Structure 1
Amino acid sequence: MASIRKRGNSYLLVVSMGYDHNGKRRLPQQKTVKPPEGLTPKQREKWLNEQAMLFERACKDTPVTVDKSITLIEYVQIWLRDVAPNKLAKSTLARDKQDIDRFLPYLGGYKLTELRPKNFRDLYNELRKQISQNTGKPLSEYTVEGVHACLCGILSDAMESGFINHNPAWRTYKYSGKKKEKVIADEETMQKIIAALENESLKYETYYKLIIATGMRRGECCGLKWSDIDYEKNSIHIQRNVVKITGEDIIVKDTKTAAGDRYVYFSPEMESLLKEYKRECVWQADAYENRELTEDDFVFRRHDSRDPMTPSTFTWRFKMILKKNGLPEKLNVHSLRHSNASLLIANGTDVATVASLLGHSQPSTTLDTYTHAFDKNKKAASEALQRGLDI
C-alpha cells in the first residue's frame, strides 16, 4: 500500500511505481490529503489507510470489479465467514455480532452500492428509540456509537475487497445529547470504600485496592501473575487481559492496545498487602491443592484451579460491598480506575504521564475522557496564578 507521511496538518501519500523495462526506477506518484476535522486518532488512521489504498489503485490503474447486486446482509455473511475470524479477537467479534443484529433488520436488504449517508442517519435515530431488554430504557448513545463503528469497519473491509469504491458510512454519526461525565468517587468516598474493603477477605481487598492504586482495568488485574510483580522496583508489569464471553471459556489475551503493555507502581503499604495476600495464596495451594504456588500462577485465580477469575465476579462482589456499606450504588469497578485518574490529575500529573499509566494509546484519549477533571485543574491553576499576581 502507499506510504503515508505526515506534513504539518496534512499527509503525503507516496506510491512506488516500480521499474521500467530497462530496469530504471520509475518516479513515485504523490498526493497530499487532509483528513476531515473532528476525527479521533483511530478514525483518522482508518481514513488515511482508505485514501492510500484508493490512490494506489488509481496510480496503478488496478481494475476493481464491483458486484452491484450484493446486499449488505450477503456481504455480512461473507465477512463473518472469511474476514472477521482472522482479524478480530473473540470478544470483539461477539460484540460486533450484537451490533450486526441491530442494524441488519434496517439495512440488510440494501445493495452495498445503494447505501447512502441518510440510510445510516435514519438507522441511528431509530436505534435511539429502541428499548433495551436488559435495562428497560432506550439504548444508550454508547451502544448507537458502537453500531456505527461496527458498520464503518465492515464497509471498510468491503471497500478493500473491491465490493464498493468508497465507505458510505463515513462521518454519518453525530453524538446525540450531552456526554455523561464518568462515574467517579470523590476523595471522601474513596476513603470510605477503602475502609469498607478492609472488612473483606484478603483476595477482594487486594484486588480492589490494586485498581484504586494503579488505575488498571478489571481484566488486566485478573490477568496478573505473581511473576509480574517486582518488589525491588515496586512495579507491576501489565501485559495480559482476561475476557469472559457467555458460553465460551475464559480467554487470556494480550492487553487491549500496545500501549496497554505497561508498568505501574505501588506504595510500601500496597507492597505489604500484596505480600500478606501471597502468604495466604501459598497456604491455600499447599492445603487444598497439595502443591507449591508458582510465579506463573495468576494472582487472582479460581478456587482449586490455575485459571484466572473472571472480571464479572469482581463486578458483582463490588456491588454487594457498596450496598452493604451504604455507599453510592451508581459506582462500579471501573469507577475506581476513573477515580485513580482523576486524583492523579488533581495532583497536577501531566496528561502524557496519566495516559501512560492508564494504558491509553494517545494522550488525546485521556484528555477526551477526563476533560472535566482537567478543566478543574486549569481553573484552580488560573485562580492560583491570579492570587499570586494579586489580580
Structure 2
Amino acid sequence: MANVENRVNGSYRLTVILGYDEKGTPIRERKTVKAKNLKEAKKLLTLFEAEILNGKYFKAEDKMTLNNFFLQWLEKHAKDTLSPDTLQNYISILQKRILPKDGRFKLEDIKTIHVVNFIKDLKKNGQCLDRKDGKLSASSVLNCYKAFNNILSCAYKWKLIKENPAIGTKPPNRKATKSEVYSKEELSQLMQLLDDKPLFWKTLILLAVSTGAREGEIAGLEWIHVDFEKGTIRISYYRAYG
C-alpha cells in the first residue's frame, strides 16, 4: 500500500507500507520529494514503491533501520548466497521473530545486548509460534541466532555498522542426541512378528530398518525410484520434502 501527502511549497511526502509489526502497527518507509503537481508526485510514488520492492532503495546510514535493511539484505545478499531452504527459514525467522521486536532500531543502535536478550528470550517457555507450552529445541534457537547473525554480518561487510554485534554473543549449543537403535535380538523379534503381516507393511518396515530412511522419504517413493534390474531403490530427499 502506498500514498502521497501534499505538504508545502511543492513538497510531497511519499509513504509505502512494508508490512505490520506484532501489534498490527504499519511498518512505513517515507520519502519527501519536490513535484510540480499531484500527478507528478504520484509518478514519483510509483517509482519509489518499485525501488523498495525491487530492493534498489538504499537509505543513508544514519537513517537505516533493520526493517529498511531487510529488503536490501534479501535482494542483494541472501538470495545469492543462501540455499533455498535456508533462505526461507531465515526469512521466516526475521519476519516473525526479529523484525517485530528489533526492526525499528537503526542498524548502528543494535548492540550485543539486544542479541543476547533475543537468545535468552527464545530459551524461555512458550516461545513456539503456535503459543503452545514448551521450549524451543536447541537447534531452533541456534537457527534463530544464525539468521540474526547473517543479516548483521552483511551490514558489517557493507560498512553500514562498525562491528557485528552478534559476534560478541555466545551462540547456543546444539545438543547432540543419542540415537536409539535396535539390537540384534530386537530385530530378530521384529522379523518374526512380520511373518504373518501383509506385504505392504513388511515392505515398509524392512525399507525403514535396512535403509534408515525417514518416514517422509519412504512415503515419497514412486516406481521411478525402483530399479528392478539392479535391485536398487533411490531415496530422493527433494522428492520427499521439496
TM-score of the superposed pair, with normalisation by structure 1:
0.37
CA distance in 1, matches of 2:227, 2:80: 35
Equivalent in 100, 104, 112 of residue 109 of structure 1: 104
The residue aligned with 1:172 is 169
The residue aligned with 2:182 is 186
Question: How far did 1:126 drift?
Answer: 1.3
Structure 1: state its 5+ residue gaps. 1-64, 245-250, 252-391
CA distance in 1, matches of 2:218, 2:154: 34
Question: How many residue pairs end up in the alignment?
Answer: 180
Contact 2:139 2:175 in 1 (8 A): no
The residue aligned with 1:76 is 70
Letter in 1 for 2:175: K
The residue aligned with 2:209 is 212
Q: Secondary structure at the match of 2:149?
A: helix
Q: How does 1:1-391 map to 2 (within 5 A)?
A: 67-80=61-74, 83-85=77-79, 88=82, 91-100=85-94, 101-131=96-126, 132=128, 133=130, 135-164=132-161, 166-170=163-167, 172-175=169-172, 179=175, 181-187=177-183, 188-191=185-188, 202-231=199-228, 234-242=231-239, 251=242
Q: Secondary structure at the match of 2:146?
A: helix
Contact 1:223 1:241 in 2 (8 A): no
Question: How far did 1:218 drift?
Answer: 4.3
CA distance in 1, matches of 2:85, 2:199: 30
CA distance in 2, matches of 1:236, 1:112: 51
Alpha-carbon spacing, 1:192–1:142, altered in 2? closer, same or farther (3 Å): farther
Question: How far did 1:163 drift?
Answer: 3.5
CA distance in 2, matches of 1:179, 1:156: 25
Structure 2: state its 5+ residue gaps. 1-58
Alpha-carbon spacing, 1:116–1:183, altered in 2? closer, same or farther (3 Å): same
Alpha-carbon spacing, 1:91–1:179, altered in 2? closer, same or farther (3 Å): closer
Which string of whole-angstrom CA distances, capped at 9 and with x for unpartnered residues, describes residues 39-70 of structure 1? xxxxxxxxxxxxxxxxxxxxxxxxxx972431
Contact 2:110 2:165 in 1 (8 A): yes
Alpha-carbon spacing, 1:242–1:193, altered in 2? closer, same or farther (3 Å): farther
Letter in 2 for 1:184: E
Question: How far did 1:174 drift?
Answer: 3.7
TM-score of the superposed pair, with normalisation by structure 2:
0.55
CA distance in 2, matches of 1:171, 1:228: 48
Alpha-carbon spacing, 1:119–1:90, altered in 2? closer, same or farther (3 Å): same
CA distance in 2, matches of 1:106, 1:240: 35
CA distance in 1, matches of 2:154, 2:195: 51
Question: How far did 1:147 drift?
Answer: 0.3
With CA pairs under 8 Å and 6+ residues apart, which has the higher RCO, 1 or 2?
A: 1
Alpha-carbon spacing, 1:81–1:186, altered in 2? closer, same or farther (3 Å): same
